[in-house]
Chain A
Amino acid sequence: DTEVTQTPKHLVMGMTNKKSLKCEQHMGHRAMYWYKQKAKKPPELMFVYSYEKLSINESVPSRFSPECPNSSLLNLHLHALQPEDSALYLCASSQDSSNQPQHFGDGTRLSIL
């Protein structure tokens, strides 16, 4: 099993809503990542979890709140988002956070009304 699974695939929410994005992998990887990708741009790192501990937060606004309940799961909790937060949110995992190949999920396409 070499898949990273993300749900939902699409999400439309208002600026006052609270929602969560979910990511799951069963490859035994110990590093998991959240990226944001705008159209025609490269993925932009948001958060890194290594062995279930937050190791990198790239100065992401607090309206994005990551959570790693266990080594297979990664969540991104969303609250009071802005229209400019509309993007493709990609989850990735790697064996560990030290220069290992990262495997991406299909992403959640998020639209903020």
Chain B
Amino acid sequence: GENVEQHPSTLSVQEGDSAVIKCTYSDSASNYFPWYKQELGKRPQLIIDIRSNVGEKKDQRIAVTLNKTAKHFSLHITETQPEDSAVYFCAASGWSNFGNEKLTFGTGTRLTIIP
């Protein structure tokens, strides 16, 4: 099955600077890569996603890049703000043992924005 590794596990960034979180995946057939933000005690919220036919996608201060050859994808947050502090999970959609697609999550990155 799919294996997703995520780095770093913790990241502290000065407010206004950029943050980058990286993930690698193992299943070359995976073709959908969402990113979730989870604030303390709250639900995971989808913030951006990318499909394997696209190399980069942007939404205001957030961007995701995908390198299918190297099997890695990254989340970039620019002009960070205190409300960006949260745990971020990457995920990859690979095939389950049942022949269906399922999301496998990375281990998470705790991002802290220092005012």
Question: Interface residues, chain A, CB within 8 Å of chain B?
Answer: 40-45, 48, 50, 55-58, 90, 97-99, 101-107
Contacts and interface: CB of A to CB of B under 8 A. Distances in A.
Interface in B16-47: 31-32, 34, 36, 42-46
Of all A-B residue pairs in the complex, the 8 with the closest CB atoms, nearest first, are A42-B105, A99-B32, A104-B43, A104-B44, A99-B93, A106-B43, A56-B98, A55-B100
A45 B91 CA distance: 12
A56 B102 contact: yes
19 contacts: A41-B108, A42-B106, A42-B107, A42-B108, A43-B44, A50-B100, A55-B100, A56-B96, A57-B98, A97-B101, A98-B101, A99-B101, A101-B34, A101-B46, A102-B34, A102-B103, A103-B46, A104-B44, A106-B42
Given A105-B43, A106-B42, A43 B49 contact: no
B49 A48 contact: no
Interface in B29-70: 31-32, 34, 36, 42-46, 49, 51
Contacts, number: 51
A40 B108 contact: yes
Chain B interface SS verdict (over half): strand
A55 B95 CA distance: 12
A107 B43 contact: yes
B108 to A, nearest CB: 6
